[in-house]
Each structure stands twice: as C-alpha cells, then as structure tokens.
C-alpha cells in the first residue's frame, strides 16, 4: 500500500468518527440497528461525490481534507474514546482524564498558534522538526501515566503515529494538535473555569447563610 493511500485513509478516520457521534445523538438507549446504521451512514455520506466543475468530482471526505489535511493523532484518539464510550455506555475516561486533555490541548494551542502567526520573533513550528518536542510530550505522557491519568495513553499516539509516518506531514506539531482540537480544548477550559467559578460562588453563598 502506497504512502499516499495510507495518509488518505488515516485522514478519513477523524471525520468518520465525528460524523458517527453526531448521527448517534444523545439518546442513552441505542439499538443495534441504530448503531450499525449510524456508522454505515457516516461512511457513505463521506463517500458522496460533489461536482467541483465540469466532469470533476470530489468525495465529501476530500472536502474535509481541504479543511484539515492532518488531523492530529491526539484528537483522533479522543474521538475514538468518545465513540467507544457512546457505544458501550461505559466511562472509559474520567472527569480528570478529559480535564487533562483540554488543558494540554489549550497549552499546546497557546504555544503554537499565537507565536506561529508572527506575534513574536519565535517560530515554534520549527520545534516540531527536532527531537525536543517529542521528548517533552514523552515526559508529560509519563507523568500523567504515573499519576493514573488515562490521557497519558492518548499522548503516546502522536509519538507512535509520527514514527509510523501515518500523516502526510512530518512535523510533530501536526501529530499532536490541530485547529479543531485546539478550539475544543479552549472551549473545554473555559467551561471548566466557569464551572469552578460558579462552585466558588455557591460555596461562598452557603457560608454566608
């Protein structure tokens, strides 16, 4: 199998996972027909051909690739966890595991995108070509695993995927983070901060009474 086909197959996993989750909805009672139908429908929807001019057609999955050619292994892994939890009805990730996922994603986004857009003289994207960034992520993954945080397992995926060259990009930043993961992580951190603030206010009000 050629490298190009491998890259295309990997790039299609994240959109399929996300669309499958969307089609499954939030109903806690999923029948086998609903599960199989949703997974198959997500696959065939991404295979729909859209005309781009003349006799040229692109599958919807190709349009997804124009938005993000290199979905991160981290976000793909998180989508796998979310889908498996949805199908099994079991909590594979605990609250602290998801919290670590959003915090790491937000920190990586702040480290990469503002400076990468030229707001400083540093270009952190170049760090992804050397060993420093993979080594730092390895250390973070080990710390999380020793602490019993399951997100550490997900952080191993960028290291493994980068070594196997499953992405079109060879830069480790693309294996670690993508814009969608960044946006979700920032939203998750904002939600956590607001919830913590509400809890603090509730505690203060309770103490007053």
Residue numbers of the domain that contains 39:
3-208
Give per-residue pLDDT as tens, 87-133. 988 889 999 999 999 999 999 998 888 765 666 677 888 889 999 99
Interatomic CA distance for residues 102 and 47, integer angstroms: 31
- Quote the pTM value: 0.88
Q: How many domains are there within the chain? A: 1
Longest dimension (CA), the chain: 73
Interatomic CA distance for residues 106 and 102, integer angstroms: 6
**pLDDT-derived band of residue 58, with 50, 70 and 90 as boundaries?**
low
Interatomic CA distance for residues 209 and 204, integer angstroms: 9
The conformation of residue 49, written as its DSSP 8-state character, comes to E
Q: What is the 3-state secondary structure (H, E, C) of 134-166?
A: HHHHHHHHHHHHHCCCCHHHHHHHHHHHHHHCC
């Amino acid at each position: 199998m050629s490298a190009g086909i491998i890259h295309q197959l990997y790039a299609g996993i994240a959109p399929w996972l996300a669309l499958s989750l969307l089609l499954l909805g939030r109903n806690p009672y999923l029948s086998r027909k609903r599960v199989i139908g949703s997974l198959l429908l997500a696959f065939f929807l991404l295979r729909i051909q859209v005309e781009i001019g003349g006799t040229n057609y692109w599958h919807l999955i190709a349009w997804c690739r124009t938005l993000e050619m290199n979905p991160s292994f981290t976000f793909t892994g998180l989508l796998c966890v979310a889908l498996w939890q949805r199908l099994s009805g079991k909590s594979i990730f605990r609250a602290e595991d998801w919290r670590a996922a959003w915090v790491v994603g937000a920190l990586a986004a702040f480290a990469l995108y503002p400076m990468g857009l030229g707001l400083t003289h540093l270009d952190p994207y170049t760090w992804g070509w050397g060993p420093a960034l993979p080594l730092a992520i390895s250390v973070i993954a080990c710390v999380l695993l020793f602490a019993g945080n399951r997100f550490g397992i997900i952080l191993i995926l960028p290291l493994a995927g980068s070594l196997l060259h499953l992405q079109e990009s060879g830069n480790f930043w693309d294996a670690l983070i993508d814009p969608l993961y960044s946006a979700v992580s920032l939203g998750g951190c904002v939600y956590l901060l607001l919830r913590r603030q509400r809890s603090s206010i509730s505690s203060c009000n309770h103490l007053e009474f």
